[in-house]
Amino acid sequence: MSHWRKQQRKETYFQRAKQEGYRARSAYKLIQIQQKFRILRHGNVVVDLGAAPGSWSQVAIQEVGRRGKVIAIDLQEIEPIPGVTILQGDMTDPTIQAQIIEAAGGQADVILSDAAPSTTGVKLRDHVISMELGHAALDVAKALLKPGRHLVIKVFQGEDLPQLIHDVKMAFHPVKIHSPKATRNESWETFIVARGFKGE
């Protein structure tokens, strides 16, 4: 695909996000994951890790409806989203996890993590931090998910990814690696879509 074509596709999702009221083009990645895997259902309790600026939470609250709940967590401040509970803090902090459980009214049905490092351009460093975030999301899922429920993690590809995939497979079945069409061609991100949490 030519550079011009890549830029056009990038702009298409950017423009659609503006027109359809999503805070970032990343909304379409979750929409496409949902279309393929049906991880979100009406009435679900969803925890969105690394949620800023909130586009995944916007998609999630549409999917779960009024009977569902979405709790969004990020170190950064997130502007209010109708129907979404927003927490500011570190997702690995036990105090924040206790707040999540309180907001959820118990365990969650789906854990989403679109968390990513502030990229430096140093691929190895960015990959290592991405793996740390991925393992943190898996730890949160083990602590908060109901058995049989689902996890989606954004990751940067690299040499440590197979170990994270292995660790996810120990806790979930089935596990798929998926790159939605909305992902930029030049991007080295992909998504672990893990269904069927085995429970601790």
Active site residue 146: no
Alpha carbon distance 11, 156 (integer Å): 22
- Which residue blocks in 38-122 are alpha helix, DSSP H? 55-64, 94-104
Residue tagged active-site, from 18, 29, 154, 169: 154
The first and second tokens of residue 85, run together, are 């509970």
Q: Which residue has the tokens 């570190």?
A: 90
Strands 175-178 and 189-194: antiparallel
Q: Distance between CA atoms of 178 and 192, rounded to whole angstroms?
A: 6
> Do the strands 145-156 and 175-178 form a parallel or antiparallel pair, or are they unpaired?
unpaired
| Active site amino acids | 154
